[in-house]
Structure 1
Amino acid sequence: MSFLFEELDYRPTPIGALSLRRRHVLSLGVDVFEIKLGEEHLMSSMFTASEIALARLGLAVLEGAGLDVVVGGLGLGYTAQAVLEHDTARSLIVVEMLDAVIDWHREGLLPLGPGLVADGRCRLVQGDFFAMAGGKGGFDPDAPGRRFDAVLLDIDHSPDALLDDRSTGFYRPEGLHALAAHIKPGGVFGLWSNEEPDPSFVDRLGSVFAEAWAEPVTFHNPLQDRPFTQTVYLARTGGASDGAA
């Protein structure tokens, strides 16, 4: 039988104290894994529908096989796993700033870790996603300037609720333009948000990319016994012939 509560690891990080916890929810009969930053809950294995939808909706936009994908933010691994479930995915780079989170997956402290580490298509890269997005080198340390079919991001709570100051400029048009330079023509940018769709942010994406839209993701919250809606924003670069981002 599981312990009702167990702290699996605790690490100081540049943005605060990070802890990995496992607790048993008696009412549901399941073990729940949680990551906290200080007193703030970052993520929980109880609520994963929108993290999975980020990958599925993003890759559904693309045609063909041999897709090269970046996921910004490893977390509990649900977005990365959903990418690897697609046979069309040829390679996946997961960029994670906090080495503790990468360690938890490599050491098997998180349930999805062994599968991600064992998949030859997947590479876990320790780095600052936002700095990489704004730089010319991009997301692959072994191939500077490499472009990708999809870049899927789940780090901040929303474009307006940031985890820390690193991403302040990313959601502005200049930051989005820099990101678009790392995406192939016809490729897609996907962004997770904890909030309901914001039309003003869709408009901002549309000012940079060839097309942009928001996909609400509604799921049942068993703790509150009510539906809850989060958002996946999607934006697509133009084709090689039309000159759009």
Structure 2
Amino acid sequence: MTAVYDTPVVLDRRDGPYGEVVLRRHGALLQIIANGCFLMDTSDGRSERLLVDAARTALDGRPEPKLLLGGLGVGFSLAHAAADPRWGRITVVEREPAVIGWHRDGPLAEVSAGALADPRTSIVEADLVTYVNETSDTFDALCLDIDNGPGWTVTEDNDSLYAPAGLAACARVLRPGGVLAVWSAEPSPEFEGSLRNAGFQQVRTEEVPVARGVPDAVHLGVRPG
């Protein structure tokens, strides 16, 4: 008997400010594709939850810490943060209006509806690179999940975020002792070095095994007090 495989079904396709973004359903999964590059889906979410939990643990009991999430994605990080009453205000910066719409009144609401209704949550439609350079707000934790990793960015503009000036901007929006957590599709010893060179302390990497291939990773660094 010939195996039958689900064929992805495009639910929405839009030309956004940074190119084409597509939401599709593949069996039970929802997937986000940007400029033909697979970004993420709703298959697991363990590493996205680790991203938030590792940052919270590194804050060592700081009361009601303010969280900045870079990237809304499929909503796993936001939903997990909002499910934790220990977090204070949760701000999400997402540059793609289509992604925001898919969460507010589209298929991805099945992941994030509760989190979006949480009074602690606010969504900012902006480019994260611009936001960390221009905002006057400060946070206790910044969790970045806007690319497939420091060495595999969605657009070339994002490369600057992982360069010295970009990491300095990330540190600028963190309060003393604040935590930077960066999601990556693979561990990057080079990026650990970049974090140390940018002045971050307690730099480390936590890994999440995947079914095939190299593990997902969360890179962590603490802004000096």
The TM-score, its normalising length taken from structure 1, stands at: 0.83
1:212-227 → structure 2 map (5 Å cutoff): 212-219=203-210, 221=211, 226=212
Partner of 1:238: 224
Aligned AA (2:84): H
What residue number does 1:27 align with? none
| Aligned AA (2:81) | V
Q: Does 1:188 align with 2:174?
A: no
Partner of 1:229: 215
- For 2:161, give the aligned amino acid: F
User: What's the secondary structure of 2:89's corresponding residue?
Assistant: strand
1:47 to 21, 33, 44: 44
Task: Look up the SS of the partner of 1:170 in the other structure.
Answer: helix
2:35 corresponding residue in structure 1: 38
Cα 1:218–1:112, aligned 2, differ >3 Å: closer, same or farther?
same
CA-based RMSD of the aligned residues comes to: 1.6
Aligned position for 1:28: none
Instruction: Tell me if structure 2 keeps the 8 A contact 1:64–1:88.
Output: no
| Contact kept in structure 2, 1:11 and 1:100, CA below 8 Å | yes
Aligned pairs for 1:30-109 (under 5 A) are: 31-62=28-59, 63-109=61-107
* Deviation of the 1:94 alpha carbon: 0.5
Amino acid at match of 2:52: A
Query: Secondary structure of the equivalent of 1:21?
Result: strand
% same residue: 32
Once the two structures are superposed, residues 180-236 of structure 1 have per-residue CA deviations (whole angstroms, 9 ceiling, x without a partner) of 0110111100000011x22221121012213311111113x2xxxx46501100000
- Name the structure 1 match of 2:25: 22
* Structure 1 counterpart SS, 2:162: coil
Any unmatched runs of 5+ in structure 2? 1-5
CA displacement at 1:163 relative to structure 2: 0.9
More helix by share: 2
**Partner in structure 1 of residue 3 of structure 2:** none
Q: Which has the higher contact order (CA 8 A, sep 6+)?
A: 2
Distance in 2 separating the partners of 1:124 and 1:160: 26
Contact 1:108 1:114 in 2 (8 A): no
CA offsets 1:148-204 (integer angstroms, 9 cap, x no match): 000000011111111112222221122211210110111100000011x22221121
Gap change, CA 1:178 and 1:227, over 3 Å in 2: closer
> Shift of the alpha carbon at 1:14?
2.5
Q: Name 1:146's counterpart in structure 2.
A: 137
